Amino acid sequence: MPVYPNRQFLDFEQPIKELYEQIDATKKLAEKNPKINLSATIDQLEQSIIDKRKAITASLSPWQRVQLSRHPDRPYTLKYIQNMCDKFVELHGDRNVKDDKAMVGGFAELDGHTVMMIGQQKGSNTKARQMRNFGMANPEGYRKALRLMKLAEKFNKPVVCLIDTPGAFPGLEAEERGQGEAIARNIYEMVRLQVPIIICIIGEGASGGALGIGVGDKTLMMENTWYTVISPESCSSILWRSWDKKELAAEQLKLTATDMKGFGLVDEIVHEPLGGAHWDYSEAAELLKTAIVKELEVIKHIAPQDRINQRIDKYCKMGFWEETTA
């Protein structure tokens, strides 16, 4: 986890950066003047940072939550797996085309439960982002995920999916290899999977890229994430022919965790450390782990066919429509 001065700050986090700079300046002053005790001043500034993080958390707009979900210091799938799980064994390849680095998965031990962990992985630097294709999976990534789900079903192990993607990769080669079919096939198969499935939105949850591993018995959504059919920037460019209205688009899309819970599209909201998950990886992972284990303990006792029927009913009830007669 990055620490100051290597930590990055968003525009609305600048007051926190200024407090860190004041602490840095105070410490340098104390080194030059050892006879002056400035520990109380430093303690006061550190408390001010906590207070400022609390204030920011309490007044975030939908667009600011979108920004936090994309924060360069935010933990990604492998970081959560590292902090939540023991004995993670990563599995590779779709047995057809290649191994998609944007989709990761493997067996792991989660609080005594053997589970199949699957999720999109972004990179933490430019080289890693290019290797991971910015978390945008190709068809072979979704087919790899399905292969791992079927493997979990074979050994009767639960599946945990961590969603963090700006969308499925829209390139020509992805379409040639059947991007739409791969996502549709995953949705179809996940509805019928015999084992428990927990879905966790840990960052960006964009469109079909999220739905490709997003069908399950319970859906958890972290506090500063978003889940919708289109990004605010793309929505703004379609409706207003400009990205300048992205803040308004984020508000109108109703994409926050609170909105999704109100619509019944997610089951639980997982709280994050003050200011966002990027402030404390261990605490964020522990909060998510607790929520996952809690849901697993409930749904693992339901008979497989009953669980499938409940899953189907859950998704059939989503959305609003009105039937009319001609």
Q: pLDDT of 152-161, one tens digit each?
A: 999 999 999 9
Residue 97 has pLDDT above 70, yes or no: yes
Distance CA 24, CA 46 (A): 11
Q: What is the pLDDT of residue 34?
A: 80
When pLDDT is averaged across residues 2-27 and rounded to a whole number, the result is 90
Rounded Cα–Cα distance for residues 206 and 225 (Å):
10
Q: Given pLDDT bands bounded at 50, 70 and 90, which one contains residue 265?
A: very high
Q: What is the torsional sign of CA 60, 64, 70, 71?
A: negative
CB burial of 22-32 (b: ≥16 within 10 Å; e: otherwise) equals ebeebeeebee
pLDDT over 90 (residue 10)? yes
pLDDT of residue 20: 93
- Answer whether 270's CB lies under 8 Å from 277's CB: no
What average pLDDT does range 294-310 have in this prediction?
95
Return the minimum-mean-pLDDT range out of 28-37, 212-221, 263-272.
28-37
Q: How much is the average pLDDT of 303-312?
A: 96
- Segment 105-132 shows an average pLDDT of 95
Q: How many CB atoms lie within 10 A of CB 324?
A: 5
Selected residue with higher pLDDT from 2 and 27: 27
pLDDT at 3: 81
Mean pLDDT computed over 257-263? 94
- pLDDT for the residue 326: 64
CATH of domain 66-316: 3.90.226.10
Cα separation, 90 vs 107, in Å, equals 7
- Mean pLDDT over residues 306-310, rounded? 96
Domain map of the chain by residue range?
11-59, 66-316
Amino acid at 190: M
How far out from the chain centre does Cα 76 lie? 7
pLDDT per position as a tens digit, 140-150? 999 999 999 99
Cis peptide before 5, with omega less than 30 degrees from 0?
Answer: yes
pLDDT at 232 over 90: yes
Task: Supply the mean pLDDT for the chain.
Answer: 94
User: Residues 66-83: what's their mean pLDDT?
Assistant: 96
> Cα dist. 244→13, 65, 235, 249, 255 in Å?
21, 17, 11, 10, 18
Residues 6+ apart with CB under 8 A from 180: 208
